[in-house]
Amino acid sequence: MKLSDNPHATQKADAEEQVFTDLVNALIYEDFMGMRSRSMLLRDPQELLAQTGMTLAEAESLLAFPLRDGRTLHFRVIPDSRFQSYRFSRPPILLAGAEEGETRFRPLEMDEYVRLLAEEAEAGPFPNLAGFCDELKLAVEQTILSSQASTALEITRGVVSLRESERYASLRDRPFHPTSRVKNGWDKDDYSLYGSEFGQVFGLDWVAVRNDRVRWGDRGKSPLYTELLSGEDQERLLRSLQAKGLSPTDYCLMPVHPWQMKHVLPRVFEQELAEQVIIPVASGLGQFTPSSSVRSLIPLHNPTVHVKVPLGVYALGAIRIMPPRYLENGVKGQKMVERLCAGEAQATPSIAVCDEESWVAYTAPGEDPFADKPGHLGCLVRRYPQTMLEADVVCPMSALAVFTKRREAPLIEHLLRQRQETDGRALFRDICQAFIGRAVWFAKVGILPEMHGQNVVFLFEQGQLKQLLLRDHDTVRVYPEWMERAGLPPVPYTVKPNTRNTLILGTAADFLSYLQTLGIQVNLASILQAFAACGWLSEDEGWLMIRQELERAIKQAAPAGVMTEMAEVLLEAEHWPVKEIIAPLLRRKGTGGGSMPSGQGSIANPLRWEG
């Protein structure tokens, strides 16, 4: 039987290649163990090709990576001169070593490859090596599951709703990350029910938490259930509360994700459940579908209000909890952003800000406020502006990065049809201009929302970008020196002592690195990849547009001193930062808390390249 005759075998092979490719490219990009700097391009590979049976397609080359024990790794790459680097083009990776007096070649499995590289470290073993290898296997399994979701885009009377674009965005998940699919803690049934790409609908469980164990972000608003549940489900909830002899004046009603209720609360809050500090009240209330972030859920009856709840699964190397300090910092970040956006409503595209001031969180007197436990029970209500209902396409930026194996991008194609255009260059430039212009507009006064593909929502009308909508404000970065120049007050963030501070930055380079890495190298670059894969423009053309829009935004938006520093960091520096993900994952000990493990390396500045 051919591989193509066995659908499951084909899906597995495709998933393994996808994860393997993302893994190797991440390791090259981050220069892990010298994967970029120590590798050598073979100028005359014909003898080795003949020995191994490998072939080279057009533009492919053969790269050799020498191991310290004398053996060598060989693999096919495409030169990426813009970054003075390479891209892994396709498996296998061959291990070459002497056996019985001659060189033998053997293809490596993913975990073998990672373990071989890890052995190159002179500082000793990586504590999470085995865990990371297990996550690579899980990434393959869950990529297979994800491939069974529909890649069609649901367009209803010309409208693409946020609910549908969230599902669609999850088809790609976080670009370029080998374990982005991993939801460590979910089995196949959990993944198929709660995974964003399937668009399934489920109810939430509800618990009553004694008021002396609750913190509120905004006690002036109505109880959370009034916006999250229909009238009928609200009545069911209150009847259940009454049947247990409880009063809403003594207890706070909190929604809980059903997976969290089954697998986490009984373990983490065993004592509180036994003492009836926390009391289960009802299950399966309402109809919710997950957004692309998985833990933010959309109620079907009220799409302008989402609810974010903790999930004790690992995703992107972090446990998806919601510590109270994150929620508090989010309100502080939101108020800063709102202050800047006031009076900007006439700009095109304008900026809108989701209201995330309403939240509740479990707390206990005397407990460590920086421990994981409080983050396992809480909820945030995210309210969207009414302008969302006026747009005919509402999508997180990450949805624009989705394209199929057939080199089709249904969302981009829909926007081009609305614009009555067949050339995607103008649309990509509009995206760059809006995103970069607004990011620099914020940065010039020392404030930078985390503008990655999931946090920025675009509102289109007839293919024209009308508004940028910002959400998830708990990681708004600040640079006090530029804030002081702009006359803005400092931000009283709550930061865990003796940990790397990623909210308050001390240099322009550290501050702007979040625009360079998350904003451009992940967000814009993945959208550019979709446009290029579908033939609307080349990557070189796209990077030129990115540079031009950065130049324009810096000149238009920044005061003279800030303009000079921005230009030095973004345009003139020889190197750009790289957000490292593999080494920090390998070094992780314990839970790592709610923050994604990351580090920073460097790579050639892609905006200085001249082809």
Predicted model pTM: 0.95
pLDDT in tens, 3-17: 555 667 888 999 999
Q: What is the pLDDT of residue 363?
A: 92
Tell me if 430 sits within 8 A of 418, measured CB to CB: no
pLDDT band with cut points at 50, 70 and 90 for residue 1: very low
* Measured distance CA(530)–CA(536) in Å, rounded: 9
pLDDT band with cut points at 50, 70 and 90 for residue 317: confident
Whether a cis peptide bond, with omega within 30° of 0, leads into 385 is no
Classify strands 72-80 and 61-66 as parallel, antiparallel or unpaired.
Answer: antiparallel
* Measured distance CA(23)–CA(109) in Å, rounded: 12
* Measured distance CA(603)–CA(159) in Å, rounded: 41
* Measured distance CA(151)–CA(421) in Å, rounded: 23
Higher pLDDT, 349 or 373: 373
Please give the span between the terminal C-alpha atoms of the chain, in angstroms, as a whole number: 46
In the predicted model, is pLDDT for residue 23 greater than 90?
yes
Higher pLDDT, 2 or 448: 448
Whether a cis peptide bond, with omega within 30° of 0, leads into 497 is no
In the predicted model, is pLDDT for residue 21 greater than 60?
yes
Q: What is the pLDDT of residue 343?
A: 65
Angle between helices 539-557 and 525-533 (to 10 degrees): 140
| Contacts by 579-584, CB closer than 8 A, 24 or more apart | 579/517, 579/518, 579/521, 579/522, 580/30, 580/32, 581/26, 581/30, 581/177, 581/317, 582/23, 582/26, 582/27, 582/30, 582/32, 582/132, 582/178, 583/30, 583/32, 583/126, 584/317
pLDDT in tens, 135-169: 999 999 999 999 999 999 999 999 999 999 999 99
Residue that is written with structure tokens 């030129």 in the block: 544
pLDDT band with cut points at 50, 70 and 90 for residue 345: low
Task: Check residue 75 and give left, alpha or beta (phi > 0: left; psi -120 to 50: alpha).
Answer: beta
Closest CA to 310 of 452, 207, 169: 207
Higher pLDDT, 6 or 198: 198
Across the chain, mean pLDDT equals 93
Q: What is the pLDDT of residue 347?
A: 62
Say what percent of the chain tops pLDDT 70.
96
pLDDT band with cut points at 50, 70 and 90 for residue 342: confident
Q: What is the pLDDT of residue 594?
A: 65
Tell me if 376 sits within 8 A of 260, measured CB to CB: yes
Q: For 414-428, what is the mean pLDDT?
A: 97
Say what percent of the chain tops pLDDT 90.
83
Beta bridge partners of 382: 306
For 487, residues 6+ apart whose C-beta sits below 8 A from its C-beta are none
Q: What is the pLDDT of residue 559?
A: 86
* Measured distance CA(500)–CA(490) in Å, rounded: 19
In the predicted model, is pLDDT for residue 563 greater than 70?
yes
Q: What is the pLDDT of residue 38?
A: 95
In the predicted model, is pLDDT for residue 207 greater than 90?
yes
Tell me if 543 sits within 8 A of 528, measured CB to CB: yes
pLDDT in tens, 78-101: 999 899 999 999 999 999 998 767
